């Protein structure tokens, strides 16, 4: 039969033993968890920070200033001239869509011209001396002339004498063709616009033999309403009798 301990010396030991066992288990679990965590931290590399892919922003267009009013191209005063040989036969009505003129077929002051041209090509006041000629190596055809054309025109004699012509000018482009000649003389050609710009000048001469001829093809445009003026003047004469310049025809298109 077990002996009874009246002083209770064994009673606190009996109550403490289960608690100690539980505490030891908790500590053991904690140590195991710490060991696993430490081992995992040493053996495995640290996780890389998450990669952030930048989405390119939409391209922003560069603002371009817009014009509310389209600028207008203002025509400039311009004359472009080419001197060319004359064809053997010149059909004046076919070439002069706006107007055409021939000089001298019926006399020294006669003008044969387009009845529907509205006197667009004008000659200035005729001067003296002024004579009819039939010396043109080319032929000109127009209403009422023979099929082969005519070789007539007008000419003047002496230094400083000649012819003046004019035609309308505007912001549209036009072409004026001048059929001229020289008889033992040097002719001076001057073409200019009343609205401004540079004038065109040239000389053409014939020292010996029959009359020499040439054509001036004048393309022009003005900056406004005005006119184009032509001066065909004898600059020098090589014949004391009657050296001078000649005028046969002109067309405008």
Long-range contacts of 64-69 (CB under 8 A, 24+ apart): none
Q: What angle do CA 211, 213, 216 make, to 5 degrees?
A: 155
Cβ neighbourhood burial of 24 (10 Å; 0-12, 13-18, 19+): exposed
| Architecture label for domain 78-252 | Sandwich (2.60)
User: Per-residue pLDDT tens for 138-155?
Assistant: 999 998 888 889 999 999
- Cβ(137)–Cβ(179) under 8 Å? no
User: Per-residue pLDDT tens for 81-103?
Assistant: 999 999 999 999 999 999 999 99
Bridge-based pairing state of the strands 174-183 and 244-252:
antiparallel
The token pair at 81 is 């001239």
Average pLDDT for the chain: 82
pTM for the whole structure: 0.71
Please, which pLDDT band fits residue 210 given cuts at 50, 70 and 90?
A: confident
Closest CA to 82 of 246, 220, 221: 220
Kindly give, in sequence order, each residue whose CB lies less than 8 Å from that of residue 154, ignoring residues fewer than 6 positions away: 103, 104, 108, 130, 131, 132, 133, 163, 246, 247
Looking at residue 162, its pLDDT comes to 97
Q: Mean of the pLDDT values across residues 63-76?
A: 55
Q: What residue segments make up the domains of the chain, in order of their start?
A: 11-42, 78-252
Write the CA distances from 10 to 18, 20, 23, 158, 227, integer angstroms.
14, 16, 21, 165, 143
What percent of the chain is predicted at pLDDT more than 70?
Answer: 71
Please, which pLDDT band fits residue 240 given cuts at 50, 70 and 90?
A: confident
User: Per-residue pLDDT tens for 4-45?
Assistant: 444 444 443 444 444 544 555 544 545 444 444 445 444 444
Bridge-based pairing state of the strands 111-113 and 99-103:
antiparallel
């Amino acid at each position: 039969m077990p002996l009874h301990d009246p002083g209770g010396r064994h009673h606190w030991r009996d109550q403490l033993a289960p608690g100690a066992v539980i505490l030891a288990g908790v500590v053991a679990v904690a140590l195991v968890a710490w060991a696993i965590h430490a081992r995992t931290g040493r053996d495995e590399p640290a996780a890389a920070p998450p990669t952030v892919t930048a989405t390119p922003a939409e391209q922003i267009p560069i603002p371009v200033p817009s014009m509310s009013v389209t600028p207008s191209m203002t025509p400039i005063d311009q004359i472009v001239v080419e001197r060319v040989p004359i064809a053997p036969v010149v059909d004046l009505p076919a070439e002069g869509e706006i107007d055409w003129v021939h000089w001298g077929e019926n006399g020294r002051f006669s003008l044969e011209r387009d009845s529907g041209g509205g006197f667009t090509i004008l000659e200035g006041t005729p001067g003296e001396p002024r004579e009819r000629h039939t010396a043109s190596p080319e032929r000109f055809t127009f209403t009422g002339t023979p099929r082969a054309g005519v070789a007539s025109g007008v000419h003047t004699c002496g230094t400083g004498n000649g012819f003046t012509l004019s035609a309308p000018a505007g912001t549209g482009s036009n072409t004026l063709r001048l059929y001229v000649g020289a008889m033992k003389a040097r002719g001076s050609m001057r073409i200019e616009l009343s609205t401004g710009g540079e004038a065109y000048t040239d000389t053409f001469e014939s020292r010996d033999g029959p009359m020499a001829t040439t054509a001036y093809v004048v393309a022009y445009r003005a900056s406004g309403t005005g006119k184009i003026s032509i001066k065909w003047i004898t600059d020098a004469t090589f014949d004391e009798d009657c050296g001078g310049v000649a005028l046969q025809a002109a067309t405008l298109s």
